[in-house]
């Protein structure tokens, strides 16, 4: 990733975050191919290895090499802060046939001889069928490998968005990009990747979409091809503890004060989370978690903040002091 892009005032007003299940599915497939580069995900790899062994990922690996061009139609821009996989795959399946054929040909050209293989010729002969096949394969990978873990993954991604949104509010674009990725910086109205070689055109009022990723770690990537809105994919914070089985245990005194479930929720809420993520983490019913969150919020221990259609809960300064034993 190397570029320098200058932003106008209108672009600054249209910068946003988005979470993409499809991007995570694509990153998970790359992780399966290179497990040696992804030590943080070894617990997940061990869990999914038997299922992954039965998946035929050859079509995706042929068209989406680890390095080089992959078809743009496989990377639709998330239109909402938290798109569903179904919404993203609907956009994939809507790719015009001639556009799909052109992009498939460009992707096959990245691998010498790929267009002349039986699979390559079939893809070019029936691009519409290829689009359907790839979308179905992503759907299968998602269901088999990621859907059972999505509440945990989404919690990390939402916490990352909340963290960077606060940095943006506190110090503007410069403060945001100093923590986003070591290769990214902001100076004099321009976003720069270290070692840039390409001067990109201005976004033209489109702004920038920032997409955190669990499986993209430790790299950052970019997409600036028109007509897509400029996009930067970066590694989410907090993946070091992503696959940990349990959080810190609540103290005996805190359990006596709040009860076991509320104490566990408060103690484990080290980063902003949704009701769904907390229910999954603590193996509780959604209704029970909602009731506990309401009590903790009324007591001044938690604060709720809306992001798109999601409500994130985080500890207040008082909640942090109680959870960490500062007032016990």
Contact 5, 230 (CB under 8 A): yes
* pLDDT for residue 152 is more than 90: no
- Residue bearing the bigger pLDDT, 100 or 151: 100
- Residue bearing the bigger pLDDT, 165 or 198: 165
> Each residue of 236-275: pLDDT tens digit?
887 777 776 655 566 788 888 899 999 999 988 877 888 8
Q: Would the CA dihedral through 73, 221, 57, 86 be positive or negative?
A: negative
Architecture of domain 246-323: Orthogonal Bundle (1.10)
* pLDDT for residue 228 is more than 70: no
Query: Average pLDDT, whole number, for the chain?
Result: 83
Section 75-102 average pLDDT: 90
Domain boundaries, the chain: 4-18+152-239, 21-148, 246-323
pTM exceeding the 0.85 threshold for the entire prediction: no
- Residue bearing the bigger pLDDT, 57 or 270: 57
- 76 φ, ψ (degrees, to nearest 5): -60, 145
* pLDDT for residue 277 is more than 80: yes
Contact 79, 16 (CB under 8 A): no
> Each residue of 195-224: pLDDT tens digit?
545 555 555 567 788 999 999 877 777 766
- 135 φ, ψ (degrees, to nearest 5): -60, -40
* pLDDT for residue 328 is more than 60: no
Predicted local confidence at residue 123, as pLDDT = 93
């Amino acid at each position: 990733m190397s570029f320098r892009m200058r932003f106008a005032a209108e672009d600054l007003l249209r910068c946003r975050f988005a979470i993409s299940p499809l991007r995570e599915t694509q990153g998970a497939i790359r992780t399966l191919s290179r497990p040696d580069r992804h030590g943080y995900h070894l617990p997940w790899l061990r869990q999914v290895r038997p299922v992954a062994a039965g998946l035929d990922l050859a079509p995706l690996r042929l068209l989406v090499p680890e390095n080089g061009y992959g078809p743009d139609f496989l990377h639709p821009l998330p239109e909402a802060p938290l798109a569903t996989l179904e919404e993203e795959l609907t956009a994939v399946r809507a790719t015009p046939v001639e556009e799909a054929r052109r992009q498939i040909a460009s992707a096959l050209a990245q691998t010498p001889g790929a267009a002349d293989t039986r699979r390559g010729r079939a893809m070019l002969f029936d691009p519409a069928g290829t689009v359907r096949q790839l979308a179905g394969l992503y759907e299968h990978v998602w269901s088999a490998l990621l859907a059972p873990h999505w509440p945990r993954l989404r919690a990390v991604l939402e916490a990352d968005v909340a963290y960077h949104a606060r940095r943006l509010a506190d110090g503007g674009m410069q403060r945001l990009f100093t923590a986003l990725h070591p290769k990214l910086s902001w100076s004099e109205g321009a976003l720069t990747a270290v070692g840039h070689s390409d001067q990109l055109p201005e976004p033209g009022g489109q702004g920038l979409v920032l997409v955190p990723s669990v499986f993209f770690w430790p790299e950052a990537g970019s997409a600036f091809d028109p007509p897509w809105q400029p996009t930067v994919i970066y590694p989410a914070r907090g993946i070091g503890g992503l696959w940990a089985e349990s959080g810190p245990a609540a103290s005996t005194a805190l359990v006596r004060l709040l009860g076991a479930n509320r104490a566990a929720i408060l103690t484990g809420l080290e980063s902003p989370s949704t009701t769904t993520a907390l229910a999954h983490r603590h193996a509780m019913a959604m209704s029970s978690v909602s009731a506990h969150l309401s009590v903790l919020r009324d007591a001044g221990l938690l604060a709720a903040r809306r992001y798109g259609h999601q409500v994130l809960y985080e500890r207040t300064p008082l909640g942090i002091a109680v959870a960490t034993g500062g007032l016990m």
